[in-house]
């Protein structure tokens, strides 16, 4: 049998030097094919260095020396468990001690034979205790090999990649080098005309330049991801995203005309009477924007951003009532049963005196059959629910409006499913995760955006304080004092994904020890993600009824919960949360005229930067400002990195650093789609293919086309 010829789309396993084991490791980095390898970009570069004598190399610098092995040995670290491999090199001017902590013992012993000659490069440290110059895990190349190949890799600029277990820096470089043989097979999704217009270098050249920079390349620019070639790759990545967004936006616009609702001032006034408060100016403005959308026959596709407590739900209900008045059904979808239940309760209360029928549809809700029937018959005017709403069995008599609450929890893929619920339904997506406006426009290129930037009146600002472990007592006594006044409290414990189990155990232990210790005379409740839905609901219900004083929760799923009587939220390991997340948690309190407190528990050894981050929260209650500062401190990688954010992850681009490139990519992509909406032109074939192959998986923004 003849083996298949190796190509860019072959699995990496068929590359020279990659066996099944390495292939598994590479998969963890998201690398499946030879082409994927070429799109696994270096995260940094090391400067080229000139060979020096050992007596001339300096501590804290990356240096390279030509030397030979004096001796080598395996020794043990203090405690005796960890083995290290140690080589003493010499070049006649001094001794360089090199150590490796994990190493293949046999081959290292053979490799560094006494008197063998090497070029050794790495960061120099000076060990005062021994008085010796040292390098940990230096790069080594046999001097013979080095001389044979002339100015070898050590003198050049070296690329460093993010790694995973089972792959070393050097072997990844080697593997990428063999993948590079297939670089000419890759097709650029950016049409030539655009590359020419912006004088962008070719994809092939750029990939080479980024993985294997020539020795005279601009080392600083490389590390800033600012070379022409890097920019080309960033542009390409953004272009692919934007072209997909442009297509999606177009397809939504082109769909069968939606229903143009009739909404006059009379109706708006009537709807206003449903609420026991008058709308804030921001709520009025946004309602107006929604009315402008739904009174045309183009389906609305609007993202409503608003800080926690800004009153998004009220706006959503107003829109739902407009649909109902136009003899259409509305669906409001929440990410959890608890939130759905809460919306349901609030809405039924508000509509108690009206003829509007409201139903709850969740997987756990009672009377599901009847509810489904009511939806099909058109008797359920407003249906509040969870994912259960997008299941096949749900058939609406005439769906006119879909509202999706806290959309970041759904992931954008589900958003597409939802929009598909009714072909021409108006859709309002709501999120409390503030994304700076310019970024939002870029990322949600297919949506119009409204912002609720004003809180309803009568809120007392929350007092936010950072507590160190030694001040824990006073945090606990503050909770006790509040409970004594008849108020309630949340204690939130973070769950970090990888260590779910351990963290859960810690949280349960803490709950037990509070219950038996300092809070023995209070009523405590516990909810966590591993609890059954019904158990969780029961606890939540008792909390809302005021039967539980202090609710310990391991999950942040319930963040949308509204319990105005709760005035304290204590957040354990606050440093592990993102600022925006903390801000959302804080939004659970301060919902009444009582003074509320947010207690951020820091860890013993909180890094200064992390403390500085928490301090932002003590100074501001503006979600957008907090998000921007958080972005500035953490960078967008971390900010958007959280899986649950549902936002695209880029391989080389950074939406903050590269926002100008994003704008350019957006403009070109939208212009292209405007001219050739089906990407039929031969020069757009590569783009079409790239979108089909890549878009959904990479950007996970749902179906397109």
Task: Please check whether residue 399 is in contact with residue 425, taking contact to mean a CB–CB distance below 8 angstroms.
Answer: yes
Q: Considering the rule CB under 6 A, would residue 562 count as an interface residue with ligand ADP? A: yes
The nearer residue to Mg ion, 494 or 560, going by C-beta atoms, is 560
The token pair at 448 is: 């119009």
Distance CA 301, CA 154 (A): 55
Contact track, Mg ion, 348-387, x by CB under 5 A: ----------------------------------------
Beta bridge partners of 367: none
Closest distance to Mg ion from the beta carbon of 200 (Å): 44
Q: How far is the CB of 313 from ligand ADP (least distance, A)?
A: 3
Is the separation of the CB atoms in 38 and 180 below 8 Å?
Answer: yes
Q: What's the CA gap between 314 and 301, in Å, rounded?
A: 18
From Mg ion, ligand ADP, none, which one binds at residue 280 (CB under 5 to 8 Å depending on kind)?
Answer: ligand ADP
Nearest distance in Å: CB 622, ligand ADP: 14
Spatial CB neighbours of 526, under 8 Å, sequence gap ≥ 6: 507, 508, 511, 539, 551, 552, 553
Work out whether 309 is an interface residue with ligand ADP (CB under 6 A): yes
Q: How far is the CB of 583 from ligand ADP (least distance, A)?
A: 12
Question: 283 touches which of Mg ion, ligand ADP, none (CB within 5 to 8 A by kind)?
Answer: ligand ADP
283 part of the interface to ligand ADP, by CB under 6 A:
yes
Q: How far is the CB of 342 from ligand ADP (least distance, A)?
A: 9
With a CB cutoff of 8 Å and minimum separation 6, the contacts of 498 are: none
Taking CB under 6 A as the criterion, the residue among 246, 308, 599, 664 binding ligand ADP is 308
Closer residue to ligand ADP, CB minimum distance, 242 or 283? 283
The reply on whether position 277 binds ligand ADP by CB under 6 A is yes
Collapsed DSSP state (helix, strand, coil) of residue 504: helix
Instruction: List, in sequence order, every residue forming a beta bridge with 100; answer none if it has no partner.
Output: 85
Nearer to Mg ion, 137 or 346 (CB): 346
Asked if 119 and 108 count as a contact pair (C-beta separation under 8 A), the reply is no
Q: Considering the complex, what minimum distance in angstroms separates the CB of residue 308 from Mg ion?
A: 7
| Total number of residues that touch Mg ion (CB under 5 A) | 1
For residue 264 the two structure tokens come to: 């006059």
Report d(CA 69, CA 88) in Å as an integer: 6
What distance in Å separates the CA atoms of residue 42 and residue 254, rounded to the nearest whole number? 41
Minimum distance between the CB of residue 360 and ligand ADP, rounded to whole angstroms? 17
Does position 314 interact with ligand ADP (CB under 6 A)? The reply is yes
**69 - beta bridge partners?**
89
Extract the runs of DSSP E, i.e. beta strands, from 366-518: 382-385, 399-404, 426-431, 448-452, 463-467, 488-492
Closer to ligand ADP by Cβ: residue 350 or 388: 350
Q: Which one among 456, 533, 546, 635 touches ligand ADP, defined by CB under 6 A?
A: 456
Q: Select from Mg ion, ligand ADP, none the partner in contact with residue 309, using the beta carbon and a kind-dependent cut-off of 5 to 8 Å.
A: ligand ADP
CA nearest neighbour of 190 among 244, 239, 247, 246: 239
CB of 334 to ligand ADP, least distance (A): 10
Kindly state the smallest distance separating residue 293's Cβ from ligand ADP, in Å. Answer: 19
Q: Which residue is nearest to ligand ADP (CB)?
A: 311
Supply the minimum distance, in Å, between the C-beta of residue 310 and Mg ion. Answer: 9
Candidates 302-310, 483-491, 644-652, 686-694; binding stretch for ligand ADP (CB under 6 A): 302-310
Residue 504 tokens read as 């859960």
Q: Determine which helix (DSSP H) or strand (DSSP E) holds 68, and give its type and residue range.
A: strand 62-76
The one of Mg ion, ligand ADP, none whose footprint includes residue 684, by CB under 5 to 8 A per kind, is none
Scanning 50-58, 272-280, 329-337, 542-550 for contacts with ligand ADP by CB under 6 A, the matching segment is 272-280
Output the six-digit token pair for 315. Answer: 């706006």
What lies within 8 Å, CB to CB, of 555 at 6+ separation is: 495, 527, 528, 529
Dump strand ranges (E) for 433-536.
Answer: 448-452, 463-467, 488-492, 524-527
By beta-carbon proximity to ligand ADP, the closer residue of 432 and 476 is: 432
Does the footprint of ligand ADP cover residue 306 (CB under 6 A)?
yes
Smallest CA-to-CA distance from 558 within 410, 338, 346 is with 338
> Minimum distance from CB of 585 to Mg ion (Å)?
13
* Sheet order of strands, 426-431 included: 358-361, 382-385, 329-333, 399-404, 426-431, 301-306, 448-452
Structure tokens at 207: 């990939």
DSSP one-letter code for 569 = E
Beta carbons within 10 angstroms of residue 217's beta carbon: 18
Query: How many residues touch ligand ADP (CB under 6 A)?
Result: 16
Identify which of residues 436 and 456 has a Cβ nearer to ligand ADP in the complex: 456
Q: How far apart are CA 288 and CA 302, in angstroms?
A: 12
Pick 236 or 313: Cβ nearer ligand ADP: 313
Q: Is residue 305 near ligand ADP by the rule CB under 6 A?
A: no
Burial class of residue 533, CB neighbours in 10 A (0-12, 13-18, 19+):
middle
Distance CA 689, CA 191 (A): 12
Min. distance of Cβ 560 from Mg ion in angstroms? 5
Site for ligand ADP, residues 185 to 224, rule: CB under 6 A? none
Per-residue contact track with Mg ion, 556 to 575, x per CB under 5 A?
----x---------------
Q: Which does 201 bind (CB under 5 to 8 A by kind): ligand ADP, Mg ion, none?
A: none
590 binds ligand ADP (CB under 6 A): no
Which residues of this protein are in contact with ligand ADP, per CB under 6 A?
Answer: 277, 279-280, 283, 306, 308-314, 432, 456, 562, 591
Which residues of this protein are in contact with Mg ion, per CB under 5 A?
Answer: 560
């Amino acid at each position: 049998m003849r083996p298949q010829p190796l190509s860019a789309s072959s699995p990496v396993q068929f590359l020279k030097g990659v066996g099944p084991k390495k292939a598994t490791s590479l998969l963890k980095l998201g690398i499946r094919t030879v082409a994927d390898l070429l799109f696994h970009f270096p995260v940094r570069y090391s400067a080229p260095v000139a060979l020096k004598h050992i007596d001339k190399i300096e501590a804290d610098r990356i240096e390279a020396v030509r030397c030979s092995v004096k001796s080598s040995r395996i020794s043990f670290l203090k405690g005796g468990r960890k083995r290290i491999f140690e080589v003493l090199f010499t070049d006649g001017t001094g001794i360089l001690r090199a150590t490796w902590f994990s190493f293949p013992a046999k081959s290292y012993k053979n490799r560094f034979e006494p008197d063998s000659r090497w070029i050794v490069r790495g960061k120099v440290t000076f060990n005062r205790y021994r008085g010796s110059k040292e390098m940990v895990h230096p790069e080594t190349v046999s001097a013979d090999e080095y001389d044979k190949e002339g100015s070898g890799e050590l003198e050049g600029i070296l690329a460093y990649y993010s790694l995973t277990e089972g792959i070393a820096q050097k072997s990844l470089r080697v593997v990428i080098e063999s993948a590079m043989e297939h670089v000419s097979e890759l097709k650029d999704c950016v049409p030539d005309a655009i590359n020419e217009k912006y004088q962008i270098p070719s994809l092939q050249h750029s990939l080479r330049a980024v993985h294997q920079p020539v020795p005279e390349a601009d080392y600083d620019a490389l590390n800033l991801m600012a070379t022409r070639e890097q920019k080309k790759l960033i542009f390409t990545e953004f272009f692919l995203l934007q072209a997909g967004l442009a297509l999606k936006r177009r397809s939504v616009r082109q769909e069968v005309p939606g229903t143009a609702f009739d909404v006059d001032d009379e109706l708006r006034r009537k709807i206003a009477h449903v609420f026991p408060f008058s709308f804030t100016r921001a709520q009025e403005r946004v309602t107006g924007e929604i009315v402008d959308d739904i009174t045309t026959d183009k389906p609305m596709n609007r993202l409503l951003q608003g800080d926690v407590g800004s009153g998004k739900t009220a706006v959503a209900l107003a829109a739902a009532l407009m649909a109902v008045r136009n003899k259409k059904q509305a669906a409001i979808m929440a990410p959890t049963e608890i939130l759905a239940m809460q919306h349901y309760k609030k809405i039924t209360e508000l509509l108690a005196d009206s003829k509007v029928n409201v139903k709850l549809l969740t997987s756990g809700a009672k009377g599901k059959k009847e509810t489904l029937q009511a939806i099909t018959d058109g008797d359920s005017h407003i249906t509040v629910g969870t994912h259960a709403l997008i299941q096949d069995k749900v058939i609406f008599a005439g769906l006119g409006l879909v509202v999706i609450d806290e959309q970041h929890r759904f992931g954008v893929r589900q958003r597409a499913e939802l929009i598909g619920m009714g072909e021409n339904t108006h859709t309002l997506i709501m999120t409390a995760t503030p994304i700076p406006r310019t970024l939002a426009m870029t990322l949600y290129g297919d949506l119009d955006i409204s912002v609720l930037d004003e809180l309803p009146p009568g809120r007392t600002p929350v007092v936010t304080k950072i507590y160190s472990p030694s001040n824990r007592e006073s945090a606990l006594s503050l909770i006790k004092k509040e409970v004594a006044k008849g108020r309630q409290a949340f204690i939130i414990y973070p769950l970090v994904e990888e260590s779910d189990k351990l963290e859960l155990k810690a949280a349960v232990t803490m709950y037990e020890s509070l219950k038996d210790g300092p809070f023995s005379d209070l009523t405590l409740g516990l909810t966590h993600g591993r609890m059954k839905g019904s158990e969780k609901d029961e606890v939540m219900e008792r909390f809302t009824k005021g039967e539980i004083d202090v609710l310990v929760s391991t999950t942040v799923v319930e963040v949308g919960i509204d319990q105005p009587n709760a005035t304290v939220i204590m957040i354990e390991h606050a440093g592990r949360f993102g600022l925006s997340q903390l801000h959302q948690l804080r939004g659970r309190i301060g919902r009444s005229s009582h003074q509320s407190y947010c207690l951020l528990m820091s860890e013993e050894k909180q890094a200064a930067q992390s403390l500085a981050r928490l301090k932002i929260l003590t100074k501001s209650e503006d979600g957008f400002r907090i998000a921007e500062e958080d972005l500035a401190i953490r960078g967008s990688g971390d900010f958007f990195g959280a899986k649950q954010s549902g936002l695209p992850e880029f391989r080389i681009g950074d939406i903050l650093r590269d926002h100008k490139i994003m704008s350019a990519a957006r403009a070109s992509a939208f212009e292209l789609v405007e001219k050739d909406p089906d990407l039929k032109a031969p020069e757009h074939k590569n783009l079409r293919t790239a979108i089909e192959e890549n878009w959904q998986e990479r950007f996970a923004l749902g179906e397109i086309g």
